[in-house]
Amino acid sequence: MDFAYDAKTEELRTKLLAFMDSHVYPAEAVLEQQLHAAADPWERQPILEELKAEARRQGLWNLFLPDPEHGAGLTNLQYAPLAEITGRSPHLAPEALNCAAPDTGNMEVLTMFGTDEQKKQWLQPLLDGEIRSAFCMTEPEVASSDATNIATRIERDGDDYVINGRKWWSSGAMNPNCAIFIVMGKTDPDAERHRQQAMILVPRDTPGVTVKRAMHVFGYGDHAHGGHAEIEFTDVRVPASNLIAGEGEGFAIAQARLGPGRIHHCMRLIGMAERALELMCRRASSRVAFGKPIAAQGVVHEWIAESRVRIEQARLLVLKTAWLMDTVGNKGAHTEIQAIKIGTPSMTEWVLDKAIQAHGGAGVSQDFPLAELWAATRTLRLADGPDEVHRMSLAKRELKKYL
Amino acid sequence: MDFAYDAKTEELRTKLLAFMDSHVYPAEAVLEQQLHAAADPWERQPILEELKAEARRQGLWNLFLPDPEHGAGLTNLQYAPLAEITGRSPHLAPEALNCAAPDTGNMEVLTMFGTDEQKKQWLQPLLDGEIRSAFCMTEPEVASSDATNIATRIERDGDDYVINGRKWWSSGAMNPNCAIFIVMGKTDPDAERHRQQAMILVPRDTPGVTVKRAMHVFGYGDHAHGGHAEIEFTDVRVPASNLIAGEGEGFAIAQARLGPGRIHHCMRLIGMAERALELMCRRASSRVAFGKPIAAQGVVHEWIAESRVRIEQARLLVLKTAWLMDTVGNKGAHTEIQAIKIGTPSMTEWVLDKAIQAHGGAGVSQDFPLAELWAATRTLRLADGPDEVHRMSLAKRELKKYL
Amino acid sequence: MDFAYDAKTEELRTKLLAFMDSHVYPAEAVLEQQLHAAADPWERQPILEELKAEARRQGLWNLFLPDPEHGAGLTNLQYAPLAEITGRSPHLAPEALNCAAPDTGNMEVLTMFGTDEQKKQWLQPLLDGEIRSAFCMTEPEVASSDATNIATRIERDGDDYVINGRKWWSSGAMNPNCAIFIVMGKTDPDAERHRQQAMILVPRDTPGVTVKRAMHVFGYGDHAHGGHAEIEFTDVRVPASNLIAGEGEGFAIAQARLGPGRIHHCMRLIGMAERALELMCRRASSRVAFGKPIAAQGVVHEWIAESRVRIEQARLLVLKTAWLMDTVGNKGAHTEIQAIKIGTPSMTEWVLDKAIQAHGGAGVSQDFPLAELWAATRTLRLADGPDEVHRMSLAKRELKKYL
Amino acid sequence: MDFAYDAKTEELRTKLLAFMDSHVYPAEAVLEQQLHAAADPWERQPILEELKAEARRQGLWNLFLPDPEHGAGLTNLQYAPLAEITGRSPHLAPEALNCAAPDTGNMEVLTMFGTDEQKKQWLQPLLDGEIRSAFCMTEPEVASSDATNIATRIERDGDDYVINGRKWWSSGAMNPNCAIFIVMGKTDPDAERHRQQAMILVPRDTPGVTVKRAMHVFGYGDHAHGGHAEIEFTDVRVPASNLIAGEGEGFAIAQARLGPGRIHHCMRLIGMAERALELMCRRASSRVAFGKPIAAQGVVHEWIAESRVRIEQARLLVLKTAWLMDTVGNKGAHTEIQAIKIGTPSMTEWVLDKAIQAHGGAGVSQDFPLAELWAATRTLRLADGPDEVHRMSLAKRELKKYL
């Protein structure tokens, strides 16, 4: 047992921390201005492209992808502390490094399950940061945490598949540069529970695809990320070769995709919590009320100490989960992936809440990143399955130990 | 001791509940459309004016004002259950009844402390719902929960006062119809702690007044309410007759204003929590996951039951506080006003959080009012003094019992 | 709506508060000494008999019993604030006033359902405080919150009933002065769910009754209360006239008994919380750490203020429930009785936890009543049905509003 | 970074787990019986001596002591998972392995600071498990978390020191086999804040030493552990050679002693939480209410899953802290030692609370270890400094990062 990062990780951490200081944090205000000035808020903002070019130049690129042929070839354990750092500026850093969801998950799917043709056409431009992508799973009409509820149909018709259905919370899809959608639907509703689904590649400009509207998240549009779209698929026809893996493989691909996706979210959430704690400490030190700095109030000590304890605990479980994924595989790490999915968002939400409180009115406003980080974090108690579903599942496995 | 509403209250509740069903709830979608379609989001939306006309026709007007000459002449205890009902649709109902903050507080200040001339010029159009007003107290540079921190200056210069300073969170001030600001500042920074401040009337169009920008609350602009403005006052000159009450009276007026203001917020928060619980129950009954309605999951039972218990407890303390204000005065009810200020926002926040969770992704979106209600509620743990300041003050009084 | 106690309540409160000061609080140390010195800890302690005599002399006797023929004839709303006061010294005051569980519930059962003969033989000595009684419902082998689980049999055999079964948590039954048990069992296991049970009077000295052992509550024996016994009933034969009401009436009697029983517990819990808050304030004012009194630490302010808010909220819901029981009956108050059963113990537990923390090591010890009050309070989250069962039931009723 | 235990740890874990199954768990009921049957509850129970002999025979002895000359020579990181296992049966396993507080801390003090003579006389019999010891620091009259509050005096008089003062919570001191006390007091009250104190060895039978009484912990006497004594020291005279290290060294020794002491507590707390979770799962699977096992209730799933997440997080932080103590020393691990002292007891308390709730009445009784474990755990939020003091200190260090 050893709690020190390895040399490669330390080297990349040093590099990335410097990049954050020199490029990312200064860019936060620039992004805000560019978004404010943009005619179309969904346009790509120039600052992002600049950051991407610089990050790639520095070798801080595709760090998330363990496949050494396409990505940086890091283990999950090596990537985790880097993802954490990007979480400190989640609107800029992950995309700057081409490590932003949902592209990361989509690239992994294509790396693992894509045909050579699919890789050439969609994986390569994604790896190069030229296009973005969306993942269309959640549906408005049903509780999508139960995959058997999915109503979208993917039906074979000659050499094509025809897709009909309605999706929402398709993150990134409002971005005009988002060129390709991975759509989950049912090819065989009568098959066994977890063999009914498939995934298929649908280019954004395919006839029948209608991006209906942007969903709001606590008032935010998540413009820099390409928002979250509601999309209608009406008799959308794509070649059969667009199917990923095969009919009935959708649930298995989703499971393969969700493990890394969840841990990436958790890594970044640790970074968000660290950012919040830093802002809380700085604010508390600089404001005076009733004759002494807020930082000298006992209740603020409670918040700060409790934040530090919770962050340390959560980080270690995320790191252990990454280590398990590396050593026993994503399936072997299933319980731990659920554990961090349950434990991390609520931890970060708690720290953010206290940081907001320490900021007074400024905390809920656009003058600090806290409120927007809070909204993103709160949503992660719901996204990729609500906490309650994961708790139920984890508890059932725990109970089985004693049967 | 008697827990039944009196006859007048019951009569008005019946009338108001019918008005909510027939006019307010149906108007929610209309408001959303009008705001969406508006060239200027700060414009008054026609639906609001229609609702105001109808409410006034029905005698549901100025219910908040205990002064029978200018208002409905209800006691706090009679008004409380009505304010609660308006809280179920807080973007429409309070203003429809001309009972929206900050106008309510401002009208009370003018009723209690205004000169005849001030009443004629500003109180009357406010009572008639023709103009709106703002209350400019909080400042960006200091912890404003400590009134001695206020930096804005109100200086006598001949027959005028000259105002210099910067305010933010001036609610309603983005609304072009917001014609008058009540501004708090210091007339004598060297006086005794609570005799340094004064309040003065500043028409919006006075030279030197610059509305700088709208503050966001989480991602919301609170457009229907006129937003929350940051305002710069640079050598703003108004006649000395615009001063309210007198130099050094500002703190006392603020205290007089805040008591009713806080209880009104709490009354409406009870209504918001009831709305959230209703939405949670309806959603839980209508969604199926893993073979049964969400409403049949044990954890949802916990949320619903716990919500009901917390709402009932909080409502009773708000009602008792109203009764105390009626029987022993606002000062005599000071402890209870603080108690509800501490207890009610966090209760409503809790219920809203669970309601959001039961809605999945829809809960954080614009398709339900939950996320926006949450943002408003969260802010009330900060507005009018953060919880921690009220807890400190209440605790000190409790400790004095045993000295 | 009126939040003032009526004149009779005020008069009795004044009397009882004086009795607490002059007799009860000083007796706490005496009880401790007598228990410590006793050869048999289950013996009646002389101090209790002295207090009973004095309370009866002062007319502070049987206040719980609304029936004016046998009791004080107070409404629930009048009794509630008095029961609260007794909760401040729960090992002495309730029994001193002949208002201690489980006798109160047993006396109510006999008042409502007893025959003249049963009343003469058992109710009268209970009303006179000459004997004590136990209520034998919970069983060790099953989840007793589900009444259909009850396994004890009450079988007719000629002119007798024969009882077989095992009970535990029969409070008071270790007391040698506990002369009579009310035993719940099944007369007809095949009847409709709520018509299977009956209740029967079993004198303690009936052959076949074996008091097996005393249950501990955390480390406490609850000696002053007569403890909590495990009792075996083996072929226990009593005359058929000992049956209360009739075969199949057991569930209905239990329901009738539990309503008042639960509210009495809640009333006393409010008093316990007040005692804890008082002790917390006194301790925090008298101890110095790191150069200032603990009372000046911000976190202690949080505890004190939050305690005050929670106590006020909980008390009002208890009082409203009492008012509902008086005005619409115990059945009409069912939801509220559940609500206070859910909300009050956890509130008091919270306040006690903070009071203990403020006392340091002394808080968990025998030098203050806090730890023992905590144990009693914690148990009330389980007794008479665990919180989770009540929440499930309350939630189902709430959900029905929207079906 | 590596999350696997090393080979030596795995080997000892396997051995210890087998010892728990074959010897410790079966001994729990035996201990209960022996304590119950004992004339003097403070007597050593034979079962403990049997376990000690067997453990020593198996080489499971003095595992806590990193010093290879006197102890097992394990690192903190190697010992941590073993201490965790002993925490599953905390009344038997730690003492069986001669790894029970306060002897562990006292042996460490003597190993590090004792003279050869002190080692020979007191360390050796402690290492051999022949005597036990107590640590007398906390005082009844002052908030002892602030070491400058200590009032006990250690005054030089010729070749002796004379001790006067009153201590309580001297754990183990009720045990007649507890032969030696390490007493903290002030040699120079006028010295610099942390140079006023010293520690001195006081044999139990020294004239002037009076063990006054046993403190209760939520009703428990902790008999198997030798309880917690209040002790009076009146003109207690011991040779000057009994002083440990030197005058003014007391605070430094206490700090050196507390680090390992705190982490040992935390390690065992993890084991207690695991035991509680196991008991909760077993009980929930075996009880039926309302037609299905309690384990199928959603709320129980929440408890189980949340317990698992919290245990995993807490364990990792304890292990990392052990690793830090091994690699950068106890001082370098100061923040983490505080972090686990803050985070672990409340975690275990939470899990125990849910396990108790799942057990119904049985959970608070003597039939399961849960209630007694709860009392011990709750006390650890106070012992060795209350959580609030540690949070304040940790927060101040966190804040310094940004000054």
Query: Which residues of A fall within a CB distance of 8 Å from D402?
Result: 278, 281-282, 285
Note whether B11 and B104 are same-domain residues.
yes
In this structure, the answer to whether residues D78 and D167 fall within a common structural domain is no
Do B224 and B279 fall into the same domain?
A: no
Residue D151 lies in a domain: yes
Interface test with C, best of D171, D292, D364 (most C CBs within 10 A): D364
Chain C nearest-CA residue for D294: C143
Q: Which residues of chain B neighbour D300 with C-beta distances below 8 Å?
A: 298
Helices (H) and strands (E) in chain A, counts: 14, 10
Q: Please tell me the least confidently modeled range out of B10-24, C247-261, D117-131.
A: C247-261
Last residue of a domain, one of B244, B272, B296: B244
Contact C386 D357 (CB under 8 A): yes
Return left, alpha or beta for D38; rule: phi > 0 is left, psi -120 to 50 is alpha, else beta: beta
User: Measured between beta carbons, which residues in chain C are less than 8 angstroms from residue B402?
Assistant: 278, 281-282, 285
Which residues of chain D are within 8 Å of residue A1 when distances are taken between CB atoms?
A: 2-6, 9, 77, 319, 323
User: What share of chain B has pLDDT > 90, as a percent?
Assistant: 88
Q: How far is the alpha carbon of A215 from chain B, nearest alpha carbon, in Å?
A: 6
Distance from CA of B159 to the nearest CA of A (A): 35
Residue D403 has pLDDT above 90, yes or no: no
- B313 → closest Cβ in C316, C401, C403: C316
Nearest CB neighbour to C343, from listed B5, B313, B403: B313
When pLDDT is cut at 50, 70 and 90, the band that residue A142 belongs to is confident
Which residues of chain A make contact with B383, given a CB cutoff of 8 A? 361
How many angstroms separate the CA atoms of C81 and C86, rounded? 9
pLDDT digits (tens, 9 = 90+) for A187-231: 999 999 999 999 999 999 999 999 999 999 999 999 988 999 999
pLDDT score for D41: 86
CB contact under 8 A, D297 and B298: yes
The average confidence (pLDDT) of chain A is 95
Question: Do B99 and B230 fall within a single domain?
Answer: no
Residue of chain D whose alpha carbon sits nearest to that of B295? D298
Residue type (1 letter), A86: T
**A300 contacts on C by Cβ (under 8 Å):** 298
Phi/psi at C34 (nearest 5 deg)? Answer: -65, -40
Pairwise CB contact (< 8 Å): B299 & D300: no
Choose from B290, B294, B302 for mutation: most chain D CBs within 10 A: B302
Task: Indicate the residue of C142, C143, C218 with minimum beta-carbon distance to D364.
Answer: C218
Write down the pLDDT at residue A44.
Answer: 83
Residues of chain C with pLDDT > 70, as a percent, come to: 100
* Closest CA–CA distance from residue B298 to any residue of chain D (Å): 4
From the CA of B232, how many Å to the nearest CA of chain C? Answer: 35
Query: Would you call A114 helix, strand, or coil by DSSP?
Result: coil
- If asked whether residues B285 and B387 sit together in one domain, one would say yes
User: Which of A129, A216, A95, A227 has its CA nearest to residue A173?
Assistant: A227
**C83 to chain D, closest Cα gap in Å:** 25
The pLDDT score that the predictor gives to residue D296 is 85
Residue D281 and residue D380 in one domain: yes
Distance CA C102, CA A130 (A): 76
> Are D299 and B300 inside 8 Å of each other by CB?
no
Pair C311, C263 in one domain:
yes
In a domain, B127, yes or no: no
Check residue C147 and give its pLDDT.
77
Please tell me whether residues B275 and B193 are part of one structural domain: no
DSSP A44: P
Q: Are C296 and C357 contained in the same domain?
A: yes
Interface probe with A: pick from C294, C302, C304, C357, most Cβ of A within 10 Å: C302
DSSP A188: -
Dig out the tokens for C55 from the structure: 């309370």
**Residue in B312, B336, B401 closest to C281 by CB:** B401
Are A323 and D395 a contacting pair at CB < 8 A? no
> How sure is the predictor about D15, in pLDDT bands with cuts at 50, 70 and 90?
very high
Looking at B57-61, B162-166, C395-399, D148-152, which range is the least confident one?
D148-152
User: What are the chain C neighbours of A297 within 8 Å (beta carbons)?
Assistant: 298
**Domain assignment present for B122:** no
Tokens at B260, concatenated: 């009713």
DSSP three-state, residue D234: strand
Q: Which residues of C touch B298 (CB under 8 A)?
A: 388, 392
Is residue D312 exposed (0-12), middle (13-18) or buried (19+ Cβ within 10 Å)?
A: buried
- pLDDT bin (cut points 50, 70, 90) of residue D25 is very high
Which residues from D are below 8 Å from B when comparing CB atoms?
Answer: 297-302
Chain A residues whose beta carbon lies within 8 Å of the beta carbon of residue B362: 140
Share of chain D above pLDDT 90, in %: 88
Q: What is the pLDDT of residues D366-390, one digit of tens each?
A: 999 999 999 999 999 999 889 999 9
Provide the domain limits for residue D202. Answer: 132-244
Domain assignment of residue C162, yes or no = yes
A66 vs chain B: nearest CA distance in angstroms?
A: 31
Q: Do C382 and D372 touch (CB under 8 A)?
A: no
Residue D366: CATH number of its domain: 1.20.140.10
Q: Report the CATH number at residue A193.
A: 2.40.110.10
Q: pLDDT tens, position by position, for chain B (403 residues)?
A: 999 999 999 999 999 999 999 999 999 999 999 998 988 889 888 999 999 999 999 999 999 999 899 999 999 999 999 999 999 999 999 999 999 999 999 999 999 999 999 999 999 999 999 999 999 999 998 877 777 889 999 999 999 999 999 999 999 999 989 999 999 999 999 999 999 999 999 999 999 999 999 999 999 999 988 999 999 999 999 999 999 999 999 999 998 888 888 899 999 999 999 999 999 999 999 988 878 888 888 899 999 999 999 999 999 999 999 999 999 999 999 999 999 999 999 999 999 999 999 999 999 999 999 999 999 999 999 998 899 999 999 999 999 999 8
Q: Pick from B114, B145, B164: which residue ends a domain?
A: B114
Question: Is-cis flag, bond preceding A239, omega within 30?
Answer: no
* Residue A232: pLDDT band with limits 50, 70, 90: very high
Q: How far is it, in rounded angstroms, from Cα A176 to Cα D288?
A: 56
| Residue A1 within a domain | no
Interface residue of A299, A300, A357 to substitute, partner C, most C CBs within 10 Å: A299
Neighboring chain C residues of A303 at a CB cutoff of 8 Å = none
Within D88-159, strands assigned E span 132-136, 153-157
Residue C301 with chain A: CB contacts under 8 Å: 298-299
B149 CB neighbours in chain A (<8 A) are 288-289
CATH (domain of A105): 1.10.540.10
Query: Are residues D394 and D275 located together in one domain of the fold?
Result: yes
pLDDT band at D43 (very low <50, low <70, confident <90, very high): confident
Dig out the tokens for A199 from the structure: 């995934």
Sequence letter at residue C262: R
pLDDT at A157 over 90: yes
Q: Is the pLDDT of residue A385 over 90?
A: no
Identity of the residue in D4, D281, D338 whose CB atom sits nearest the CB atom of A1: D4
Identify the pLDDT of residue D110: 97
- DSSP 8-class letter at C229: E
Least confident of C321-330, C334-343, D237-246, D252-261: D252-261
Asked whether residue B124 is assigned to any structural domain, the reply reads no
Q: Does residue B156 share a domain with residue B15?
A: no
Evaluate if residue D309 carries a pLDDT over 90: yes
Tens of pLDDT along A127-141?
999 999 999 999 998
My answer on whether A88 and A138 are in the same domain is: no
A181 assigned to some structural domain: yes
Q: Which residues on B lie below 8 Å from C399 (Cβ)?
A: 281, 284-285, 295, 304
For C294, which of D143, D290, D391 is closest by C-beta distance? D143
Is D126 contained in some domain? no
- Asked if C199 and C253 count as a contact pair (C-beta separation under 8 A), the reply is yes
Average pLDDT estimate for D134-144: 89
Q: Which two three-digit tokens encode residue A46? A: 């120039």
**Contact across the interface for D169 and C361, Cβ inside 8 Å:** yes
Residues of C in contact with B274 (CB under 8 A): none
CB D281 to CB A402 under 8 A? yes
Q: Which of A290, A292, A294, A302 to mutate to test the interface with C (most CBs of C within 10 A)?
A: A302
The kind and range of the H/E element at D81 are helix D76-86
Contact check, Cβ <8 Å, B3/C320 = yes
Do the beta carbons of residue A131 and residue A144 sit within 8 Å? no
The predicted pLDDT at position C43 comes to 85
The number of folded domains in chain A is 3
Partner-chain contact A375 B218, CB within 8 Å? yes
Residues of chain D with Cβ-Cβ distance to C289 below 8 Å are 143, 145-146, 149, 389
> How confident is the model at residue D224, as a pLDDT?
87
- Across D266-289, average pLDDT: 95
- Interchain contact, C402 vs B308, CB within 8 Å: no
Facing residue for B2 by CB, picked from C1, C336, C401: C1
Neighbors of chain D with 3 or more C-beta pairs under 8 Å? A, B, C
**Backbone dihedral region for residue C216 (phi beyond 0: left; psi -120 to 50: alpha; all else: beta):** beta
Beta carbons within 10 angstroms of residue A212's beta carbon:
12
**ipTM for this prediction:** 0.96
The residues pairing with B181 across neighbouring beta strands, listed in sequence order, are: B134, B202
B–C: how many Cβ contacts below 8 A?
149
Distance from CA of B290 to the nearest CA of C (A): 19
Among residues A63, A88, A114, the one where a domain terminates is A114
pLDDT tens, position by position, A65-83? 998 999 999 999 999 999 9
